[in-house]
């Protein structure tokens, strides 16, 4: 399992290095696609930023939900503890 994970990590690293190098060379070369490449990189950055903000918002909602559920359960337990036997 660890060997497979290691191979996937190396593949992802090599792929990223190739894409980064290729993009850098194309941007330095001032090709006809410079503007499109820069726009796409900007979109990628904005999507990454939005993803991080969405994860933060999701985390906050999950915490609110957990707090609400636990407080409801605790109120039920407190009511049961306060009931006195006849």
Count of domains observed in the chain = 2
Among all chains, which residue has been given the structure tokens 């409801």? 72
Residues 41 and 78 in one domain: yes
Mean pLDDT, the chain, whole residue set: 84
67 and 78, same domain (yes or no): yes
Report the distance separating Cα 38 and Cα 43, nearest Å. 9
* Residue 46 in this model has a pLDDT that exceeds 60: yes
- Confidence bin at 1 (pLDDT 50/70/90): confident
In tens, the pLDDT along 7-44 reads: 999 999 999 999 999 989 888 988 888 899 999 999 99
Distance from C-alpha of 7 to C-alpha of 13, rounded to nearest angstrom: 10
Which residue range is the domain that position 46 belongs to? 32-86
pTM for this model (two decimals): 0.56
Same domain, 54 and 84: yes
Instruction: Convert 29-52 into a string of H (helix), E (strand) and C (coil).
Output: HCCCCHHHHHHHHHHHHHHHHHHH
């Amino acid at each position: 399992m660890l060997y497979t994970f290691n191979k996937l990590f190396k593949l992802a690293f090599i792929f990223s290095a190739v894409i980064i190098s290729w993009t850098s060379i194309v941007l330095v070369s001032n090709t006809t696609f410079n503007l499109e490449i820069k726009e796409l990189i900007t979109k990628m950055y904005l999507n990454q930023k939005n993803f991080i903000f969405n994860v933060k918002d999701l985390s906050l909602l999950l915490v609110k939900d957990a707090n609400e559920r636990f407080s409801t359960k605790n109120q039920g337990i407190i009511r049961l503890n306060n009931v006195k036997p006849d």
